[in-house]
Amino acid sequence: MLFLFLLSSFVFKGNADTIGLNVSAGPKQNYTFPKDFLFGVSTAALQIEGAWDADGKGESIWDHLVHVQNPKFAKDGSTPDVAADSYHNYKRDAEMVHELGVNIYRFSISWPRIMPKGLKNDINQKGLEYYRNLLMELEKYNVTAMVVMYHWDLPQALQEMGGWTNENIVDYFADYAKVLYDNYADKVKYWVTFNEPMQVCLEGYGNTYRAPKLNQTGFADYLCTHNLLKAHAKAYHIYNTTYRPTYGGQVAISLDSNWAEPKTESASDREAAERYLQFHLGWYTHPIYSAEGNYPAEMIRIIDEKSRQQNFSQSRLPKFTPEEIEYIKGTGDFFGLNHYTTYYLTMADKQVGAVPSHANDCGIVRFQNPKWPSKSSSNWLRVVPVGFRRLLKWVSNEYNNVSILVTENGFADFSGVHDAERVSYYGHYLNALLHSMYEDKTNVKGYCAWSLMDNWEWDDGLTSRFGLFLVDFKSPNKTRTPKDSAKMYAKVIKSRSLPDNFDPTDFSAFSSSNVLLPSVLTVVTLLSLT
C-alpha cells in the first residue's frame, strides 16, 4: 500500500513563498567565494564513456542489465554502449573542463575497464592507459583530478559471486584500489571510494531502480552496506599507510541526501524528518564521521526490535565487531555530499511488522509540495534551495563541523543550449551555499556541478539532460556545445561571486503550466510499507 497525500496545485508565478516553507535560502548579499574555495565539475564513467566492450573492457552489471535482464530499462530504449563516447573524446572533455575554469574534475574509473572480471589476476593495460591519458590532459590544463573508484558499475563476474553481499568483495575492492593507487597516485589529489552507496545498496540490492535489481529489501541492502563500508575503510587505510606519506592526497566517500523537512512543526513530524536522515544518510555517515562510530543508535534499535517481532533469530541489520567500528571510524578526510532536492516527511499511518523492508523499518513517508518550483525533466527534482542550506547545517552540526566538499549538485532539462532553468537553479543553490558558509558557519571547502556534459541518465536514458555542455548524441563525434549555464558557471568561478542580475526571490524560470501536476494530485513518495 502506498501512502498518498492529496494537495492542490497552482501555476507557480515566481514568488518563493509556499505553504509551510519559503524555498529561497535568503536574500542576496555581497558574499564572495574565498580564494581557496574549490570549484569543480563531475561525471561518471558508465554515463559518458561508451566503448562498453572496447579494448578488453569487461561486462559491468549495467551492461548486463540493459543487454540481458531488461533491454527496455531506459525510457527511450537507449543503452550506455556509446553514450557521449568520452573514451574517444577525452581530449575534448579536458578542454571543456579548462574552458569552465574549474579547479577540480571529478570523474569515475570503470572497475571492469581496469579489471575485466574484477580480480587482480587479469589487469587490462588498455584501460590503465586510457585513464593515464585523461589524467595527463587534465595536468596539461592545471586541473586537479578527483577520482571516484566506484560509481555503480560493478564487474558482472563479481555480481555472479554475490556482488556486495559477498564479504570477499572487501578484499577484491582493496586489490582494485591498490591497482589504482599504484598507477595514478602521482596524479590524483582526491580519491572518492564510493559515489552514492545508498543508491547502490538500497536501490540496486534492496529494490529494482538500479542494477543489479536484486529486489531483496530489508536483507540484501543491509548486507551490501555492511560490506561496502568495510571495503571503503580498507581502501582508506591502504592509502593512509602506504601512499599518503609520499603523495599527500585525501580519501573520502560521496554520499547523497535530500533535505528532510518536517511536514508540520509537530514532534512526530520532526521525528520523521530526523529518522529519514539517519536511515538514509546516517546509515553511511555515522560509522565514518561520528565520534562513536557504528550505525545510528536509533536505526539499530528499531531494526533489532522489528527483526525480533518478525521471528528472526538475529537482527536483519548486520553487526560490526568493536574492532570493525574503530577501523571504519574516521576514514574520511572530507565529507563528500551530493544534493539535489527536498522532501516533506511525516510518520506512516501504520507500520506492518510482518513484512521486512528498509521502508517498513524506517516507518515514514516522504512527499513533495507541488507549489515548489520544478520544470525539470526529472519528476523528483523540485527547486528548494533552502533545503540545501539546511542540509549543510545538519551535516555540520551532526559531525563536528566536518570539512564538506559538495561533489554533486545540478538540474535536469530536456535539451537545448538556452537553459534558463539550470542557470536559475545554480544561482539559487550557490546563493544557499554562500549563506550556509557565511551565516551558518559551515565548513564547505568546494562545490562540483553535475554534470560536465549531457550523459546516459540511467532509467531516463538520453532524455534527461544534466549537462553544462549539450551533447549531440546523433552526431558522429558526439559534438559538445556550451550551454548558457556553462557560461554562467564560468563567470561565477572567475568572479568568485553570484551574477550581478541574480534575484533570490525570482523563480519565474520554473513557471510553466504544462509542467506542474494537475489541480488535484498525488505527491511523490517512494516508501511503500507493504
Check whether the bond before 42 is cis (ω within 30° of 0).
no
What pTM was estimated for this model as a whole?
A: 0.93
> pLDDT band at 355, cuts 50/70/90?
confident
**Residues 196, 203, 398, 421: which is the catalytic one?**
196
Kindly state the percentage of the chain with pLDDT values over 90. Answer: 91
pLDDT of residue 15: 40
Tell me, yes or no, if 160 is annotated catalytic: no
Main-chain dihedrals φ then ψ at residue 10, nearest 5 degrees: -150, 165
Q: What is the DSSP letter of 165?
A: G
Which pLDDT score is estimated for 527? 33
Q: How far is CA 339 from CA 105, 173, 275, 279, 527, in A?
A: 18, 26, 18, 16, 19
Contact 372/10 with Cβ under 8 angstroms?
no
Q: How far apart are CA 211 and CA 156, in angstroms?
A: 10
**What does the DSSP assignment read for 440-475?**
S---EEEEEEE-SB----GGGTTSSB--SEEE-TTS
In the prediction, which pLDDT does 370 show? 93
Burial 181-198 (b: 16+ CB within 10 A, else e): bebbbebbebbbbbbbbb
- Write out pLDDT tens, residues 493-515: 999 999 999 999 999 999 863 33
SS3 of 231, please?
helix
Q: Judge whether 408 counts as a catalytic residue.
A: yes
Q: What pLDDT, on the 0 to 100 scale, is given for residue 20?
A: 56
Q: What is the DSSP letter of 264?
A: S
pLDDT for residue 511: 87
Q: What distance separates the 2 farthest-apart alpha carbons in the chain?
A: 62
What digits encode the pLDDT tens for the residues 173-213? Answer: 999 999 999 999 999 999 999 999 999 999 999 999 999 99
Catalytic one among 59, 137, 398, 408?
A: 408
> Between the CA of residue 61 and those of 205, 214, 407, 455, what are the distances in Å?
12, 11, 24, 18
Task: Say which residue, 4 or 92, is predicted with more confidence.
Answer: 92
Measured between its terminal Cα atoms, the distance across the chain in Å is 5
The residue to which cell 573520502 is assigned: 252
CB 47 within 8 A of CB 471: no
Q: Which contiguous run of DSSP H or E holds residue 267?
A: helix 267-277
What pLDDT, on a 0 to 100 scale, did the predictor assign at position 490?
Answer: 98
Q: What is the pLDDT of residues 446-463, one digit of tens each?
A: 999 999 999 999 999 999
All domains of the chain in start order, with CATH? 6-522 (3.20.20.80)
> Mean pLDDT over residues 128-155, rounded?
98
Which CA distances in Å does 236 have to 182, 193, 241?
Answer: 14, 8, 9
Positive or negative: CA dihedral 138, 129, 453, 483: positive
The type of residue at 323 is E
Mean pLDDT of 142-171: 98
